[in-house]
Every structure is written in structure tokens, then in C-alpha cells.
Amino acid sequence: MVSGEDMQVAATRSTTTAAPIVFQGVSKRYPGRVQAAVENLSFEVPSGEICILIGPSGCGKTTALKMVNRLIPMTDGDITIDGKSVNAMEVSQLRRGIGYVFQQIGLFPHLTVEDNIGTVPRLLGWSKARIRERALELLQLTGLGSEDNLRRYPGEFSGGQQQRIGVARAMAVDPPIMLMDEPFGAIDPITRDRLQDDFLRLHREVRKTIIFVTHDIDEAIKMGDRIAIMRDGRLVQIDRPDNLLAAPADEFVADFVGADRGLKRLRVWTLNDLKLDPFSGTMHPAAPASTSLRDALSLMLTAGATRVTVLGQDGAALGCVSLQAIAAMLGPEPRTPGP
Amino acid sequence: MSVLAPFGGTPSPAPTPVIPGFGGGQSCVVKNGQFCAGWFADNFGSRFAPRLVEHIELTAIAVGVGMLIALAAALLAYRQGWFETPFTLLSAFLYTIPSLAFFELMVQVTGINRFTAEIALVSYTLLILFRNTLAGLRAVPPDALEAAQAMGLSRRQTLIRVELPLALPPIMAGLRIATVTTISLATVAAYIGAGGLGEPIFDGIQTGFKTEFIAAGVLAIALALVADGLLVVAQRLLTPWARHRRA
């Protein structure tokens, strides 16, 4: 992916592509304001990873995101995609190679779902048949797959369904990069949880490089391969979720991730990540190996038990995990999860 | 007023008897009844149909040209905000001029003809069409615009594919009002020789023959209703999304 044209070629092959994004000393200053909206931001998002930008309102996270597809022009520094500066690309080519999903969704109310998804493909001169095929494929990928839905209008769908269509539209030409600005922020908690799960599943299939803005630390921990915490336009800390929770760089980060950061951290791991004690044969509350440590802890505490039986996919007991083992994960010395 | 006087008469032929002879001796016509259906049927083809066609032409040209001017002005005002006030003032000023006076004034510039009538009729459509078009463009959801921008659509592509289609409902609403108003106003245009259904109305008033002006008046009303209905149908066809909403 070197030029916009190459992006399109990559897109038309419909193979999954991704490209690293690098911020190099990026700043944004508005005339007449003393404080920069974004100050000397440098970090890298490796190919195929989800990088979360998080921080309090006004910290510059959305500004940073929008500088990638040049919805906001940067004042200083550079952003490169696969080694190529975004400023060196023709702006419409650049944008067509970047999927953009945002909180207000922004579906075109006057176009059918098919035409919404087909907007960029049509600009690129795809045939009608190919657009239809791609639209249907994307609807199936985002969990709305039915031919009837192609002919319906956005107004006929719920908010959660609309954002699924929004994600499908952003992926229409299989861009290597996606920018997501609080994509699930306006959606009710239950639907949001499902959308997050489905999106993670989708991401495992079609590895894109994603920058994802949120103000919800739980969402950040769940969705992020890396979390970048911002404050007053500066990057405070960028790390993997478990490291961030285990070793906040300063009081601000510790405060931001919350006093319950230990419990949050338990969500990062599943029972699968622990070394299992042999199955003792006594009755304990049971949970599948894919259960998060946080849920396993909750299970033990509600059942008044000190151990939980870990079940394999076939439902057979694999072994046990003790309360102490879970507590040890949060010990003063951060441990790497076994085995 | 003395300047206007030479144009004060109607273009119809020399004074006719109070009860004209063209009834062929039908008693209704002789008695000048409220509405002589037989006479109307006999004379529709020769007296009314050509005027009706002229009336449709007058209206279609006025609304069509008015829409083009209003669209161009609204696009300019949409991009360059300062243009809104002067154009609104101008079109509102034109709108307030009494129609007869307007026709008379224009006659001095462009003479007694259809062109003169069209200038006045177009002027009356501008205010409503301009305001509705501009309001429609401004009501396009900002999130749709952000999506279009982020997808790499150019300003022109955004205008044609997103902004104008989404502005259609208010534009169509403006067109309906402008069309119905123009059909009504265009009857006055016969006063300066523009033809249309105003001619038999003026004629009927002049001669006192009730059937003639009632028939022409009813035809003008029917034309307005039909035109409005057609525009409603057009709007439904052009904006299918508006009917598809979640219950």
C-alpha cells in the first residue's frame, strides 16, 4: 500500500490487508489558543492491531484520530501509513483507503443499505453486480446478512443495526486501516456489548489496523491491543491493557483507570491463562476455560467457594483454579500469566 | 396614472352586447344562467382548451425558470452566507408588489406580451423557492456530510449525491406552493395579453356572461389541484426513503 492507487488494487483483490500507522511528533494548534489541541504526539500502531485512544473530554483524542484521514489538518509532525506520509497522498484517495466509523453513524438516509455500502465502490467504478455481492458479503460479516436488507433504508433499522451497516460501509473497499470515533458510544449497553464482541470476532477474521477512540475505560480494556492515554493533548502512557492496569505511569492514569483497576485487569485474562491445579473431584462451581478471571472470581464469591472447576469445550473438567491463584495474578510483582 | 392609462383596457375585441349572441339561442345562455353546461361543452374545444394550454405553459415556464434561479441563488447562499440577506430582501420586495401594478410597470419596459408576464410570474416564485431550497440544504444532517467527507467524496459529488437529494422534500414543498400560486396569479397576466385562462375570465366579466368566467375560474382551480397532485406523486417517487421509517 504505497499510493492511493495501490490501495484500490489491494481493495479490489478483497484480500485482507493492513498497514502500520506511525505518529511522528504530531501537533495541532489552533490560532488564538495558547494550549495546543495535540502536542508532539508520537506512537506507532503495528499492522493489524487495535490501538485505543482514551482520555477525558478535550484531551485531543478525536483530533488525533481525524488527523490521520486529514479531516483535521495537522500543524506539525507527520503521520505515515505503511511508511508513506498522509500529506503526500491526494486527499480523496487517502480517505477512500481508510474506513471511518463514528458515533453519529452518518448513513445516508436517502440511500438503500446497498447504495450506502456501495458509495465508495461506485466512485471507483465497480459494476452493479459486484457492489451487490460485496454489500451482501459485508452484511453477513456484520451480522445483518439478508438480501431483503439490501433494499431497505437506514431509517428502518435500530441504532445498533445502523452502526453494523456503518461498519460494513466503512469496510466496503477493504481498506487496510479503520478509524473509529466512539463507534458504540450512543448505543445502549447490552447492544454495545454485542457489537463489541461481534466487532472483535470480525477483526480476528479481517485484521485491520485500527485506531479506536473512546472515553470508556472498560471498552478500551476489552477492545484494545494497546491503549494510549491522553491528557491535555499529550500522550501520558501507551501500553498493553494488562500492563497499563498493573503499572499506571502516574496518578492521573491510576485515577483514570479507576480504583478497581485490579478487578479490571482480571478481565484481561481467562481461566485458560492460569496454571490449573489437578481436578480434586470435589464439587466446586464450574466455568468454561474461556471465562475471564473477573467472572470466575465473581462466581467463587457468590457461591462462597474458594475454588472453581475449569471445564473444557466438551464440558469435561480440566482442573481447578483457586482464589489464591487469581489473587496472585494481581500481586505486587506483575506476573506473566502461565502456563 | 395617466401614463398607465393607454394600457388600461383589456385586449379583448370591441364591446359586445351585455348578453352575447354566441349561445345559439339556448335558453340558459339567453337568460345568462349561472352555468350553462351545454354552452360550455360546445365551446370547450374552441374557447377554453387553447387558453388552458397557454395557462399550463405560462405556469411551467415561470416555475421552471424560477426554480433554476432560486436553486442557483440558494447554492450561492449555502456556500457564501452573506448572499442570503440581499437575495431574500430582493425576492421579498418583488413578492410584495401588487400583481396588477407589477404587470403594468413591466409593460413599460418589455411591452405587452408573454415575456413581460413571465418576468412578473417568475419574480413571485423566487421568495418561496429560494427559502425552501436554502432551508433544505441547511437541514442536511451534519453526520451525513461528515461521512461523505470521510469517504473521500468531492464537494461536487457530495452536493449531487447527498445534499440535493436530502434537500428534496422542502424543495418539493416549495414547488407545490409556487405552482399553485402561479396558476392563480397567471390569470391576471391576461390583462397584459399573455393569454391563459385569465382571458375568458376578463371577457366574462366584461360581457357579464356568467358561464364564461365561472368555467374559466373552475378550470384554473382544477388545474391547480391537478398540478399539486402531480407534484405530490412526483415527490413520493423521488423521495422513497421518506416513506420507509421504522414504526
B152 CA: distance to closest CA in chain A (Å) = 4
Domain that holds residue B144: 52-238
Report the distance separating Cα A94 and Cα A176, nearest Å.
Answer: 11
Report the distance separating Cα B231 and Cα A208, nearest Å.
Answer: 48
B149 CA: distance to closest CA in chain A (Å) = 8
Assess whether pLDDT exceeds 90 at residue B30.
no
Q: Which three cell numbers stand for residue A213?
A: 477512540
> Where among A236, A264, A292 does a domain terminate?
A264
Report the distance separating Cα A293 and Cα A298, nearest Å.
Answer: 8
Contact A155 B153 (CB under 8 A): no
ipTM of this predicted complex?
A: 0.80
- Positive or negative: CA dihedral A84, A90, A94, A97: negative
Query: What residues form DSSP beta bridges with A308?
Result: A321
Domain that holds residue A25: 4-97+173-264
Q: Give the residue from chain A lying closest to B242, CA to CA.
A: A110
Residue B82 lies in a domain: yes
Residue A203 lies in a domain: yes
> Kindly report the CA angle at B86 between B82 and B87, in degrees rounded to 5?
105
Residue B112 lies in a domain: yes
Residue A117 lies in a domain: no
Query: What residues form DSSP beta bridges with B114?
Result: none
B238 interfaces chain A, CB cutoff of 8 Å: no
Contact A106 B147 (CB under 8 A): yes
Secondary structure string (H, E, C) spanning B79-119 = HCHHHHHHHHHHHHHHHHCCHHHHHHHHHHHHCCCHHHHHH
CATH code (residue A282): 3.90.1280.20
B149 interfaces chain A, CB cutoff of 8 Å: yes
Same domain, A80 and A210: yes
Same domain, A9 and A93: yes
> Where among A227, A244, A264 does a domain terminate?
A264
Q: Give the residue from chain A lying closest to B141, CA to CA.
A: A106
Domains of chain A: total: 2
B150 CA: distance to closest CA in chain A (Å) = 6
Phi then psi for A99, rounded to 5 degrees?
A: -75, 135
Each residue's pLDDT, cut to its tens digit, for chain A (339 residues) gives: 344 444 444 444 444 468 899 999 999 999 988 899 999 999 999 999 999 999 999 999 999 999 999 999 999 999 999 999 999 999 999 999 999 999 999 999 999 999 999 999 999 999 999 999 999 999 998 888 888 999 999 999 999 999 999 999 999 999 999 999 999 998 898 999 999 999 999 999 889 999 999 999 999 999 999 999 999 999 999 999 988 888 899 999 998 888 787 788 888 888 888 888 887 777 788 888 888 888 888 888 888 888 888 888 888 888 888 888 888 887 765 455 544
Nearest of A175, A173, A264 to residue A224 by alpha carbon: A264
What is the per-residue pLDDT across B182-229, written as a single tens digit (0 to 9) for each? Answer: 999 999 988 888 889 999 999 888 888 888 889 999 999 999 999 999
Polymer length of chain B: 247
A152 interfaces chain B, CB cutoff of 8 Å: yes
Q: Which residues contact A23 (CB under 8 A, 6 or more apart)?
A: A41, A42, A43, A44, A64, A77, A79
CATH code (residue B230): 1.10.3720.10
* First-residue to last-residue Cα distance in chain A: 39
B237 interfaces chain A, CB cutoff of 8 Å: no
Report the distance separating Cα A290 and Cα B50, nearest Å.
Answer: 83
CA A293 to chain centre: 21
Convert A68-93 to b/e letters by CB count within 10 Å (16 or more is b).
bbbbbebeebebbbbebebeebebbe
Same domain, A83 and A19: yes
Q: Which three cell numbers stand for residue B78?
A: 449555502
Same domain, A244 and A302: no
**Contact by Cβ (8 Å): A224, A241:** yes
What is the per-residue pLDDT across A302-314, written as a single tens digit (0 to 9) for each? Answer: 888 888 888 888 8
Beta strand pairing call for A307-311 and A317-322: antiparallel
